[in-house]
Structures are given as C-alpha cells and as structure tokens.
A and B are shown apart, each in its own frame.
Chain A
Amino acid sequence: MNEFEQHDSTWNDRLQDLLDGDVDASERAAVESHLAACAHCRTQYAHFKRLDSALAAGLAVPELGASFDHQVLARIDAMDAQARDQARRQADREFQQSLQALARSWRRGLAFVLGGSVAGIALAFAFTAWADAADVAERLLGMTGRIAFVPTDTLHTLVTALIGAGIGAGISKWLAATLD
C-alpha cells in the first residue's frame, strides 16, 4: 500500500460518514479540519458528494400501484375459497368412507347371523336323523350314570348347538370374506 492508498484508507470511511451525517460533533470537527488542510481529501469528498447526489436523484423510490392491496386481497380470497372447497371435498370423502365402513360392518354382521342360523338348523336336522339311525340315544342314556345331573334332552341340544356353532362360524367367516 503506497502513501496515497494508506491516506485514503484512513480518511475515505470518515469522509463518507461525514457525507451521511453519521458523525458526532467531535468527529465532524476533526474531519472538517482535515478537509481544510488536505486538497486530496477535498477532491475525494467532492467526488463522494457528486456521486451521492447522482444516486439520490437517480434512485427514485418506486411506488406501488394503487391496485396492489386489492390484488393481494383478491388472491387471498381466491386462495381461501379454494381451501374451503378442498376442505368440503375432504369432508364429503370422509363421510362417504364412513358410510361404506358402516355398510361393510352391517353386511359382515348379517353374514354371521345368517350363516350361524343356517348352519345350526342344518346341523340340528342332520344330527337328529343320525342319532335316530344309530341308536345314539340309548348309548347316551347309558352315560347318564356318570353325568346324571344332565338330562338327555339337554345333552342332545347342547351337543347339537356346539357343533352347529362351529360350522356356523366357519360359514360366516367365508361369507364375510366374500362380501368384503
């Protein structure tokens, strides 16, 4: 750095502070005193002032159009209307989904009831026919010595119901899977 550059680096910032009014009273006095004695800085300061005037005049503050606010608010309203439509569509979709889920649940329940009933009736008929043909009643009566507290008719019905429920559950499961 030569002598002039050293001088400039010391004084340029202070000259610009003076130009911008960014100095206190003592700094202003010091810079003005230097300016009075230094022709180089006076020239430099004149350049800064000329540049400052050119920039201040050339950089006119751009004005926003009067319709700016209106346009922004109109776009926000449009955006909000769109958001409301989206929310409404989403609510409709969710309502339809819940209706479908409810219908599925009813269908499944109905399938269980129907399946169980059909299986129970079929099994009751089948078991009665088989028991009559195979003299099962007499053999069961023989067992009542060990389980005397259970009447034969009740035992008959209980076994029928258990087997019927097992088959009915299998049929219901198959029906529910098919209906889904």
Chain B
Amino acid sequence: MMQAVASDADIAIQECLRAKRFREAFALLLPHYRDKVFRLCFSMLQQRAWAEDVSQDVFLRIWRALPGFAGQSSLSTWIYAISRNACLSELRKRRPQVSIDDDTEGYHPEVAALAVSDADDSATVSVTQMLDQLPERYRQAVTLFYMEDKSYEQTAASLGMPLGTVKALLHRARKKLIELARDAA
C-alpha cells in the first residue's frame, strides 16, 4: 500500500488534534480535503448531487470521529477510508444486487465514436456514458485519475490502493475502451 506523505496542512491539523482543539483542526481540514473527498465520492457514485450529499455526511462522520483519531494511519488515509466506506454503504443501499466486477459487452455508440477518424472531435463524446461500459474498478480509477489532474499518487491515495495497482487498472481500462471502440466500429 502506498504510504501517504503528510502535507503541511496535515501536520498543522494533527498538532491541533494533539492539543484537543477539534474545532480548529476541523476548520483546517475542511478546506484542505473538501474537493478531494468530493471527487472521490463522485468517482464512486457518478452523480453530482448524490456525491455532494455523501461528501457532507463524510465530513459529519469525520467531525464525530475526530476526537478518536489516534494517528495509527495518516490523516489522509483515514479520511479517504471514511469516504470510501460512506460511498460503498450508499451504493449498497441503492444497488444491493449490483456486483462491482460486472463487465458489460456490446455495441455502444459513444465508444464507437472514438474509433472514427482523427479529424472528428472525440471530446464531444459523452465520456460518462462511455465509461459506464467499463467494470466498476476500471471506471473509478480512470475517472479519479483524470479528475485528479492525472496524478497516480493522489488517485492511489484516494482509492487506498498501491500505486502499481492504479497504474495497471488505468492501463487495462484504456485498452478495454480502445477494444470496445474497435469492436463497435
């Protein structure tokens, strides 16, 4: 597993926690992690409003759990774990029968559009629909990687996966998308 490096903000937050100044710690934590938590939630839930609601719940959970944070893991690892658990719990509530390893095959016009000539503007393709054809783990890795400005490190930290795993998922996801595009052409 990738070892998260504590940022200056994390160090300041942990100093406040040690001094039991929880309000101050939270006031530092919220602006530092709000967007990262939201993007992680969005990559898992795929719906903006839903991701925003769950992100709020994540920060409430963090606030409640903050006095009990004993620093066994890094602060960011702890926060992302809470976020992933909150999303998984939400997904189970809404889609209890869906397996995260489901793989869908078939003709997908959005994917086929990728196979057309270079002159076409592929960026107009609905990427969200295209990614829906991928297995859950691939889709999450790709979504988060591009939303996190193509940072393997941040993607791995958010997903709680080793960097090599994220890289492998991303590479396989791209290959899969190109294969789907070829098949659909």
Interface residues of A (CB under 8 A from B): 12-13, 16, 20, 22, 44, 46-48, 50-59, 61-62, 64-65, 68-69, 71-73, 75-76, 79
Residue numbers in B under 8 Å from A13 (CB-CB): 171
Residue numbers in B under 8 Å from A72 (CB-CB): 30, 56, 59-60
Q: Are A64 and B147 in contact (CB under 8 A)?
A: no
Contact partner, A12, options B59, B64, B114, B171, Cβ 8 Å = B171
Interface residues of B (CB under 8 A from A): 26, 30-31, 34-35, 38-39, 42, 48, 51-52, 55-56, 59-60, 63-64, 114, 118, 122-123, 125-128, 130, 142-143, 146-147, 149-150, 152, 167, 170-171, 174-175, 177-178, 181
Complex Cα spacing A47 to B118, Å: 9
Q: Shortest beta-carbon distance, A162 to chain B, in Å? A: 62
Complex Cα spacing A22 to B167, Å: 10
Complex Cα spacing A65 to B55, Å: 12
Residue numbers in B under 8 Å from A53 (CB-CB): 122-123
Q: Shortest beta-carbon distance, B172 to chain A, in Å? A: 9
> Which 7 residue pairs of A and B lie closest in terms of their CB atoms, listed nearest first?
A58-B127, A57-B123, A59-B146, A54-B122, A72-B59, A47-B178, A16-B171
Complex Cα spacing A50 to B26, Å: 42
Q: Are A54 and B114 in contact (CB under 8 A)?
A: yes
Q: Are A16 and B122 in contact (CB under 8 A)?
A: no
Complex Cα spacing A57 to B150, Å: 12
Q: For residue A79, which residue of chain B has the nearest CB?
A: B60
Complex Cα spacing A56 to B150, Å: 9
Complex Cα spacing A95 to B63, Å: 30
Contact partner, A55, options B59, B64, B142, Cβ 8 Å = B142
Interface-central residue, A46, A64, A75, by most chain B CB under 10 Å: A64
Interface-central residue, A55, A57, A58, by most chain B CB under 10 Å: A55
Q: Are B118 and A62 in contact (CB under 8 A)?
A: no
Q: A54-B125, A58-B126, A58-B127 are in contact. Are A48 and B63 (CB under 8 A)?
A: no
Q: For residue B64, which residue of chain A has the nearest CB?
A: A79
Q: A59-B143, A68-B52, A79-B60 are in contact. Are A50 and B118 (CB under 8 A)?
A: yes
Residue numbers in A under 8 Å from B125 (CB-CB): 54, 58
Q: For residue B26, which residue of chain A has the nearest CB?
A: A76
Q: Shortest beta-carbon distance, A18 to chain B, in Å? A: 12
Q: For residue A71, which residue of chain B has the nearest CB?
A: B56
Q: Are A51 and B118 in contact (CB under 8 A)?
A: no
Residue numbers in B under 8 Å from A62 (CB-CB): 38-39, 42, 48, 51, 147
Residue numbers in A under 8 Å from B181 (CB-CB): 47, 51
Q: Are A75 and B60 in contact (CB under 8 A)?
A: yes
Complex Cα spacing A13 to B173, Å: 12
Q: Are A68 and B55 in contact (CB under 8 A)?
A: yes
Q: Are B63 and A64 in contact (CB under 8 A)?
A: no
Complex Cα spacing A57 to B60, Å: 33
Residue numbers in B under 8 Å from A48 (CB-CB): 174, 178
Contact partner, A76, options B52, B60, B142, Cβ 8 Å = B60
Contact partner, A69, options B30, B122, B174, B175, Cβ 8 Å = B30
Q: Shortest beta-carbon distance, B159 to chain A, in Å? A: 15
